[in-house]
Structure 1
Amino acid sequence: MDFKDLTYLIAIEKYGNISKAAEALFLSQPSLSRFLQNTESYVGQPLFNRIGNKYVPTYVGQRYIARAKEILNIKKELDQEVGDILKNDSGLLNVGFPAMRGTYMLPCTLPIFHSLYPNVKIKIHEESSNRLNELILNGDIDLAFYNQPDDNPNIETEIISHEEMVLVMSPDNPLCEMAYPMEGCRYPHLDLNLLEEKGQGVIMQNPNQRTRTIVDRLFRQHHVTPNIILETSNIRAEAELASRNYGVCFITETHLKHMKLDKPLKFFSVGDPSTPINFVAAYRKNSYLPYHATEYIKIVRDFT
Structure 2
Amino acid sequence: MNVKDYEYIVEIARQKSLSEAANRLCITQSALTKFLQRVEAQLGTPLFHRIGKRFVLTAIGQMYVNKGLEIMRLDQEMEDELAKMRSDGADAIRLGYSMGQTSFIMDHLLPAFYKRQSAMSVSLKEDSSTGLIRDVEDGKLDLCLAYAREEKPGLSYFPLASSGMALAVPRHSPLLRKAISRPDFPHPVLEDRSWMDEPYIRLASFTQSGRIAQEYFRQIGRYPKSRIYVENVRSAMSAVENRLGNCILAELPHAIHQVEYLSLPDLQVPRQRTCLITRKGSQPQDAMKLLIHLAQALYKQPEKS
Aligned partner of 1:19 in structure 2 is none
8 Å Cα contact 1:180/1:188 also seen in 2: yes
1:5-52 per-position Cα deviation (integer Å, ceiling 9, x unaligned): xxxxxxxxxxxxxxxxxxxxxxxxxxxxxxxxxxxxxxxxxxxxxxxx
The answer on 1:209 being equivalent to 2:207 is yes
Percent of aligned pairs with the same amino acid: 17
8 Å Cα contact 2:202/2:210 also seen in 1: yes
Aligned partner of 1:127 in structure 2 is 127
List aligned pairs for 1:131-210, cutoff 5 A: 131-170=131-170, 175-191=175-191, 193-196=193-196, 199-210=197-208
The answer on 1:287 being equivalent to 2:287 is no
Separation in 2 of the partners of 1:151 and 1:223? 32
Separation in 1 of the partners of 2:236 and 2:96? 23
Letter of the structure 2 residue corresponding to residue 98 of structure 1: S
TM-score by length of 1: 0.57
Following superposition, the deviation at residue 151 of structure 1 comes to 4.6
Following superposition, the deviation at residue 225 of structure 1 comes to 3.3
Query: CA separation of 1:294/1:181 partners in 2, compared to 1, >3 Å: closer, same or farther?
Result: same
Separation in 1 of the partners of 2:107 and 2:260? 27
1:141-191 per-position Cα deviation (integer Å, ceiling 9, x unaligned): 111002224554444422111234321224675544543222221221124
Following superposition, the deviation at residue 303 of structure 1 comes to 1.5
Separation in 1 of the partners of 2:150 and 2:217? 17
What residue ranges of structure 2 are gaps of 5+ in the alignment?
Answer: 1-89, 300-305
Letter of the structure 2 residue corresponding to residue 298 of structure 1: H
Following superposition, the deviation at residue 269 of structure 1 comes to 1.2
Query: CA separation of 1:109/1:273 partners in 2, compared to 1, >3 Å: closer, same or farther?
Result: same
Aligned partner of 2:112 in structure 1 is 112
Secondary structure of 1:211 counterpart: helix
8 Å Cα contact 2:103/2:254 also seen in 1: no
Aligned partner of 1:68 in structure 2 is none
Secondary structure of 1:189 counterpart: coil
Letter of the structure 2 residue corresponding to residue 279 of structure 1: T
Aligned partner of 1:82 in structure 2 is none
1:40-85 per-position Cα deviation (integer Å, ceiling 9, x unaligned): xxxxxxxxxxxxxxxxxxxxxxxxxxxxxxxxxxxxxxxxxxxxxx
Aligned partner of 2:264 in structure 1 is 270
Following superposition, the deviation at residue 97 of structure 1 comes to 0.9
Query: CA separation of 1:255/1:205 partners in 2, compared to 1, >3 Å: closer, same or farther?
Result: farther
The answer on 1:102 being equivalent to 2:97 is no
Following superposition, the deviation at residue 240 of structure 1 comes to 4.6
Separation in 2 of the partners of 1:152 and 1:229? 37
Query: CA separation of 1:159/1:216 partners in 2, compared to 1, >3 Å: closer, same or farther?
Result: farther
List aligned pairs for 1:226-237, cutoff 5 A: 226-233=224-231, 235-237=233-235
Aligned partner of 2:56 in structure 1 is none
What residue ranges of structure 1 are gaps of 5+ in the alignment?
Answer: 1-89
Separation in 1 of the partners of 2:111 and 2:294? 10
Following superposition, the deviation at residue 210 of structure 1 comes to 2.9
Aligned partner of 1:219 in structure 2 is 217
Separation in 2 of the partners of 1:113 and 1:212? 32
Aligned partner of 2:236 in structure 1 is 238
Following superposition, the deviation at residue 195 of structure 1 comes to 4.5
Secondary structure of 1:258 counterpart: coil
Query: CA separation of 1:179/1:156 partners in 2, compared to 1, >3 Å: closer, same or farther?
Result: same
8 Å Cα contact 1:144/1:283 also seen in 2: yes
Following superposition, the deviation at residue 137 of structure 1 comes to 1.5
The answer on 1:91 being equivalent to 2:91 is yes
Secondary structure of 2:102 counterpart: helix
Separation in 2 of the partners of 1:162 and 1:299? 17
Secondary structure of 2:244 counterpart: coil
Query: CA separation of 1:175/1:270 partners in 2, compared to 1, >3 Å: closer, same or farther?
Result: same
Separation in 1 of the partners of 2:110 and 2:128? 20
Separation in 1 of the partners of 2:283 and 2:214? 33
